[in-house]
Amino acid sequence: MAVGWHRPTKLVIDTQAIKENVSNEVKRMPQGTELFAVVKANGYGHGAVQTAQAAIEGGATGFCVAILDEAIELREAGITEPILILSVVDVSYIDLLLKYDLSVTVATQEWLVQAIDQLNQIKTQAPLKIHIKVDTGMGRIGFTTPIAVKQTIELIQSTQVIAWEGLFTHFSTADEKNTSYFEKQSERFQEILSVLSELPQYVHVSNSATALWHPNNAGNMIRFGIAMYGLNPSGHALPEIYPLKPALSLVSKLIQVKELAVNEGIGYGNTYTTTKNEWIGTVPIGYADGWLRHLQGFSVLVNGEKCEIVGRICMDQCMIRLPRKTNVGTTVTLIGHDHGANITLQMVADKLETIHYEVACTFSERMPREYK
């Protein structure tokens, strides 16, 4: 996709905010604990490489991604710290895992058997680094019983081509007030630990929410994701333990301003009609950029004043109602601070009836990311 460098719409990423968020969490961690920054999905829409570099400055010692290509991107950008791929990678790509010195998740014995066979065929010098995933109640990927985990470890110990580097699980409700299911998952993971005679280098259960609100958990590594970008993992449900500094702003400029008479329609489907003479501004951003049609009726900021989005949002443009005649080229703040006013990702998510994770990941590559 072409990046819109020659249009005024852009995402502005505050890398200092990312650094501070990581640093603040590192200060809270028990001695001997490491922080792996989660930069999957292009750094939750913020830019993977740039956020990774900021995270290192804040004290991160490793990274988590979702897919092999994301890990390769980091390596080719010069990132040398450990990288864990949190999902399953097809065994046919083991050569790439070895080439780029990557750790991979093992979720079934079948995969491990195939991987060992593949590694024996290529006669590798270095073993493949793996983390065993335990499904304690997420229902996604991973082993579900202590005996299955124990058998898998025995299989690993029977070969020289696999290095058991980690053991982990993922909590599905760590960001909720009701802790009963979280406690159930914790107990299941403890059951796994109780049958093991030894542990790997990394034991990790803490995502951002767990790190913030359930710090006294088993493990010596934190997977710090959404909080690194300054966003509360729970939305509105739980208060922040310490101030998280949002890193993302979204800005554009007015490209046309016109005064329309009463009873004039705006946008596709004529879903908005002027009720009097109104100043209408056009902003070059639309649903192809991730500024979705359901945001009709939401407000953006112009000179610190809220201006409602009127009419349906188009693929490349949207229209806003201005309080008065305003100059073409005036900044429009869609997310961020403007003259003492503020629009947050959470506010956008509330309007869309979703979570801020999804909003950030929806922003397309057409919008350039500017880093400060």
Tokens of 355: 């979570």
Element (H or E) spanning 279, and its range? strand 278-283
Specify whether the CB–CB gap between 364 and 42 falls below 8 A.
no
The residues, ordered by sequence, that sit 6+ positions from 327 with a Cβ below 8 Å of its Cβ are 254, 257
Q: What distance in Å separates the CA atoms of residue 78 and residue 45, rounded to the nearest whole number?
A: 20
Domain with CATH 2.40.37.10 in the chain: 248-343
Condensed to tens digits (0 to 9), the pLDDT of residues 293-319 reads: 999 999 999 999 999 999 999 999 999
336: left (phi over 0), alpha (psi -120 to 50) or beta: left
d(CA 128, CA 112): 11
Q: Of 40, 129, 133, 253, which residue is the catalytic one?
A: 40
Q: What pLDDT score does 261 carry? A: 97
Fold of 15-229: TIM Barrel (3.20.20)
Q: pLDDT at position 316, please?
A: 98
Plot region of 208 (φ>0 → left; ψ -120 to 50 → alpha; else → beta): alpha
Q: How do beta strands 299-302 and 331-338 pair?
A: antiparallel
228 is in an annotated binding site: no
> What is the CATH T-level fold of the domain 248-343, as seen in this structure?
Lyase, Ornithine Decarboxylase; Chain A, domain 1 (2.40.37)
Q: Which residues contact 157 (CB under 8 A, 6 or more apart)?
A: 164
268 is catalytic: yes
Contacts of 362 (CB under 8 A, 6+ apart): 45, 290, 292
What angle (nearest 5°) sits at the alpha carbon of residue 63, between those of residues 59 and 67?
Answer: 165
Helix ranges, the chain (H): 15-28, 40-44, 48-58, 68-76, 94-99, 109-122, 146-157, 180-194, 208-213, 345-352, 356-362
Please pick, among 99, 268, 325, 372, the residue that the annotation labels catalytic: 268
Residues in the chain where the model's pLDDT stays below 70: none
**Has 202 been annotated as catalytic?**
no
pLDDT, position 123:
74
3-state secondary structure 316-354: CCEEEEECCCCCCCCEEEEEEEECCEEECHHHHHHHHCC
Residues 6+ apart with CB under 8 A from 260: 266, 274, 277, 278, 280
Cα separation, 191 vs 148, whole angstroms: 12
User: Is 140 annotated as a binding-site member?
Assistant: yes
pLDDT of residue 136: 96
Structure tokens, 139: 């229902």
At 185 the pLDDT is 95
Output the pTM of the full model.
Answer: 0.94
Instruction: Check if the beta carbon of residue 287 is closer than 8 Å to that of residue 366.
Output: no
Q: Where in the chain is the domain with CATH 3.20.20.10?
A: 15-229
Burial zone of 254 (CB within 10 Å; 0-12 exposed, 13-18 middle, 19+ buried): buried
